[in-house]
Amino acid sequence: MGRYDQNKRKTNQESLGQVIDRMLRVYRLKSGLTEITLKSDWEKIVGHAVASRTDEIILRGGKLILKLSSAALRQELHYQREDIMRNVNAHLGEEVVKEVLLQ
């Protein structure tokens, strides 16, 4: 509930960012926006070599699904899944990814 000031008006102490975040959650748009952010920042997160060989990025229910064009890269990234998960979550500022799947 909001507080009342001296003029008996209800004051709302919520920032615009908080209002937008709440609206995105209510309308279930947050996950889609997070996926778009992840796709647009993918090269910043993993570097050019990995980004250029990533065919598709899908974020569903805490799972980050990466479709890669290189079998050798898929094998190498298999051992780096925890690092990818940590880097993605750090970049997004919240724990969105709980598992990384490579295809």
Quickly state the pLDDT bin for 80 (edges 50, 70, 90).
very high
Give the chain's domains with CATH numbers. 29-102 (3.30.70)
Count the residues in the chain. 103
For 1-57, write each residue's pLDDT tens digit: 455 555 555 566 778 888 877 776 765 667 778 889 999 999 999 999 999 999 999
Query: SS3 string of the chain?
Result: CCEECCCCCEECCCCHHHHHHHHHHHCCCHHHHHHHHHHHCHHHHHCHHHHHCEEEEEEECCEEEEEECCHHHHHHHHCCHHHHHHHHHHHHCCCCCCEEEEC
